[in-house]
Structure 1
Amino acid sequence: MSGDIRDLVRLDRLGPRLAEVTGEEAWRDSRAELISGGKSNLTFTLTSAAGELVLRRPPTGALLPSAHDMGREARVQRCLAGTDVPAAPIVLYDEGELIGIQCYVMEKVPGHVIRGELPDGYATTAAERTRMAFAFVDTLAALHAVDPEAVGLGDYGRPAGFMERQVRRWTGQWEASRSHDVAEIDELGRRLAAAVPVQRRSTIVHGDFRTDNVVYDAADPGRINAVLDWELSTLGDPLSDLGLLMLFWRDADDGDLSLIPGVSQLPGFPNRASMLERYAAASGADLSDLGYYRAFAHFKFAIIVQGVAARSAAGAMGGQDFGDLDDEILRLAQAGLDHI
């Protein structure tokens, strides 16, 4: 384990606490490895003779206001236990005593986290790929069907005025993290602020629902074992999640998103229209305003990309380097303007 990772994880403090809460003394002698793919909070696999766990902590350096709240992530995962939304069980949450900043440790859920390619021999047929896709969109519909009050999340956010606040929030994040002017981002933000649709439903929203934030069952492509990365979750308008799904779910003739490699463009996967039809059937949602939410998804993700670029340039991403992302930000803004 490198010195950099040792400083980020502080196993000299974390290991003994894990031994206490799990009853497994083997955690006093453990090691950590940064999981590739994380663009915001840092995620590590912790390994000992007792098995594997997963640690989540914020990036290093200056943090944007309201971002990287580990307590919220741990809370929503605990509250979803027993619902139709699978979430990794929380082992430990700490306010900062152990590693100097908020963090939590969760069980490592078995299965595949799928990014730019399918595992060898996995979901090789069109039927399996359809089941894989529909399990994904059905899980989002299941999340939006959870009653927040019933699971102890009635105060997890303020759903009234959600999209107005989201546009303001992400505009503020843009002002805080941008490295140069992008007129298209500014114009998209103005148009979004001026045309917020009437909110028809209020639910738990994930905020970053994509295929590399779920764990697929290794034996059954039609089963999801856990939804991960609850950093942006809150109470709000569920169509904001669906707009993001439409951005991340790439059709065969779409270009890739450089930070979010996916598999949906491969032969045999349903296209966006089929995914929308499946969601509408499961949720009963009115999707007539979806163009707005797709535009907002491009706006939000462009600003997330800018934040990744800024943290990477500042050396706050655990040594990960994502290269020059300026062209990606511009393309996202232009596509967002097309949608709105």
Structure 2
Amino acid sequence: MGPVLADSVRLTDDGVEILDRRVFPAERVWVHCASVEDVAKAIEDMVTQSSGPYFAALWGMVLAAREARSLAAEDARAHLAKAGERLIATRRTNNHLRKAVAAALSGVDGQTGDDLAAAVLAGARAGDERYRSRSAALGRHTAELLPDKATVLTHCWADLYLVELVRAAAGKDLAFVCTETRPYLQGARLTAETLAEMGVDTTVITDGMGAAVLSSGRVDALVTAADRVTMDGHVVNKIGTLGLAVAAHAFDVPFHAMVQAPDRLAPTAADVPIEYRDGTEVLNRPGIRGLYPAFDITPPRFVTTVVTDRGPFSPRQLGSYYEEIP
């Protein structure tokens, strides 16, 4: 059995079940989504985050194919296209949603009825397997960069990347320091809970403590996931990553950003839309505004390594990732 959050989105006979990460681990509540719109709303409302939306989109497209079983080929294609657009639009900074939709539709070629549903299900299952295998490779490559008994500072919730890193580093006796990651506290609730579940030495700090901890000499590496990495080496990740990366750079602590692959559709940081969420998620008080950019962008000069499923790369040499890929 793996950690709970490694399997938090499930396809059922009558919908998609999503573990509500907004209340985990205090409660284990599964949100039932009976339609594509239900799945999209769950993603928008932060029922699931990190890689969760990828899996939700995979299985959401299966629901769309089930809905289209009674439609003629042209109408079925239009229904799937609309469903894919709706899911991709839920959170545009991370490109996982686009990849999930493409994976689910990869075997669609004019089928209708049950054949269409079967084709989309096969594509979604292949997308699920591919994401997990690439995450495992990413974890192995990242583990190789860390010394034995390393103390690792991490931010937000790196999901399967973190799970696979811990598995790959078995025997290295790693310890982790997790930032709380306001306002949803993914670090304090999701990262810390999963690390503890896997038997890892885990410490939680507030977001404002990161620079001081990095200055202490007790941290061997800053390791985070990346929602997207541009071809020129900018790392887009949960808000707060930039500040930690700058502090790590100042105190000679390497920053390793984990991503399955750099995004060829994002040559530069200007090509990545940054999601701004409602400021009331930060502060809800009359007469005072809250500001919530959900992501920030770390320039390559503050990034030591971009670790991919094909190994580590300098942020300035990411083009070589695709040299052997047509």
Higher strand share: 2
The answer, yes or no, to whether TM exceeds 0.5 is: no
TM bin (shorter chain): under 0.3
Larger RCO: Structure 1 or Structure 2 (Cα < 8 Å, ≥ 6 residues apart)?
1
**Under a length normalisation based on structure 1, what TM-score does the superposition of the two structures give?**
0.26
